[in-house]
Amino acid sequence: MLSAPSARSANASLGIFAEHGDVGKVLHPGSVEYNAAEKSYTVSGSGENMWFGHDDFHFVWTKVSGDVSLTADIAFVGATGNNHRKAVLMIRQSLDGDATAVDVARHGDGLTALQFRDAIGANTHEVESNISAPQTVRIVKRGDSIYAFVSKDGKLVFTGASTKLALTGPFYVGIGVCSHDKDVVEKAVFTNVKLVSLPPAATKPILYSTLETIAVASTDRHVVYGAPQHFEAPNWSRDGSFFLFNQDGKIYRLALDGADPSVIPTSPQDNCNNDHGISPDGQSIAVSDSSGNSKKSSVYIVPIGGGTPRQITENSPSYWHGWSPDGRTLAFTGERNGDFDIYTIPVSGGTETRLTTAKGLDDGPEYSPDGLYIYFNSVRTGSMQIWRMKADGSAQEQVLSDDTNDWFPHISPDGKWMVFLSYEKGVTGHPAQKDVMPQLMSMEDKKVHVLATLFGGQGTINVPSWSPDSKKLAFVSYSILQDDPAEMK
């Protein structure tokens, strides 16, 4: 709930807010002018940045608790200035510069992103919206979940960006400006500012899927496409111009030019699951589909533009996962006699070859770019871990050992990196709607670091999703919205 006004706000000099002041290290003091007649705020702020482990900016705030929504129209004063200057709607635990915090930041060049620091002094991360320079932005807190909304075509829409931030006790919510230049003061005008205590959600929760990319070097995330439907498992095309994903049993193509996704015809195989991928020459797609008489998944090949699929595996269930670099062989997971193991089969079809025999689940086989190894995940040690073997199944060895359950290893095209998906220790299998971590391992020194922490799991990175230049990775994250933007006034 909203806290009682402080002595400063009692005279209405700051409207709905209680205090203002500089946060962090600021050479030029900021200020705020409140126009009571127009209910607008002109905020001046300096500060070197709001990023990494520390924020420097001018903040106008009030202290609140519970679930809240803050909405405003934002416009910068002046057409020039640093492209990275920021006007933000912010929630933060304290007024310390290194506090845990989350904001929706409208940048000077139009970039709008959800930015968050999930621990005191931790580096800031962001999820960039695919909508530039929106007039209206909104930040919503529901429990530990934070959501970003922006205006598009006159309507407020979910950006697809969300994160979790645990706040204790009352926290600070407000508006702020950072010049991104310690020697400069910038101004932004916030109008139609609304701060609302949210009652329990009145609508049925909405599952929202978001196709994102993440840069390996910076870990910056960018929303490519989102929708209030369930879709999964992006493949990045060999030329980098489009993605594939599955939804409702069909395979969709999504161009990077902003066009809506389109269905790739695969009839009569119209019950495709999330195990699919593009051939090395970019001309074909391997799909896993359960439309046959057995209603169990089999592997098929279909032309990249669609057509009648050609069945590859005679036995089922079979789930495709890897394509040899020379395009001649497929690697897949098959259940035979109650055991899930890894198999290969020629692209032309024929006899399948079993490569693993260990008890328990072996899954997610994928060739290394040089074709010498197949990487996979196996539960043979008691927890799901990453393994590899030579392409003929020999010399099976564990790649790393950790306390998480690790799935779906994908090697970058240049062979320098391996990404995999980690669940918490107690999670069995690879279920949907869990907090997960895509992790990155250097193939040179085996060092591992977390790329992102997100709500996902099944469907996030089941299949190869590296960009052709090995600089980015595509994945699907999920959000469960408790509020319909159209109903939030």
pLDDT tens digits for range 461-488: 999 999 999 999 999 999 999 877 655 5
**What pairs with residue 378 in β-bridges?**
362, 385
pTM: 0.94
In this predicted model, what pLDDT tens digit does every residue of 194-244 receive, in sequence order?
A: 999 999 887 789 999 999 999 999 999 999 999 999 999 999 999 999 999
Write the pLDDT tens digit of every residue in 98-153. Answer: 999 999 999 999 999 999 999 999 999 999 999 999 999 999 999 999 999 999 99
What length does the chain have?
A: 489
Domain ranges of the chain: 9-199, 206-480
CATH number corresponding to 9-199: 2.60.120.200
Q: Which CATH superfamily is domain 206-480 in?
A: TolB, C-terminal domain (2.120.10.30)
| pLDDT in the model for residue 487 | 56
Nearest to residue 196, comparing CAs of 122, 89, 105, 57? 89
From edge to edge, which strands make up the β-sheet containing 171-178? 19-23, 57-64, 171-178, 86-92, 101-107, 112-117, 125-128, 221-227, 206-215, 472-481
Q: Where do the DSSP E strands lie in 372-471?
A: 373-378, 385-390, 397-398, 405-411, 417-423, 434-442, 448-450, 454-456
Per-residue pLDDT of the chain (489 residues; tens, 9 = 90+): 554 333 333 345 899 999 999 999 999 999 999 999 888 999 999 999 999 999 999 999 999 999 999 999 999 998 888 999 999 999 999 999 999 999 999 999 999 999 999 999 999 999 999 999 999 999 999 999 999 999 999 999 999 999 999 999 999 999 999 999 999 999 999 999 999 999 988 778 999 999 999 999 999 999 999 999 999 999 999 999 999 999 999 999 999 988 899 999 999 999 999 999 999 999 999 999 999 888 999 999 999 999 999 999 999 999 999 999 999 999 999 999 999 999 999 999 999 999 999 999 999 999 999 999 999 999 999 999 999 999 999 999 999 999 999 999 999 999 999 999 999 999 999 999 999 999 999 999 999 999 999 999 999 999 999 999 999 999 999 999 987 765 555
The predicted pLDDT at position 367 comes to 98
Residue 319, CB-side half-sphere exposure with 13 Å CA sphere: 18
User: Which residues have C-beta within 8 Å of that of residue 451, sequence separation ≥ 6?
Assistant: 214, 216, 219, 419, 437, 438, 439, 440, 473
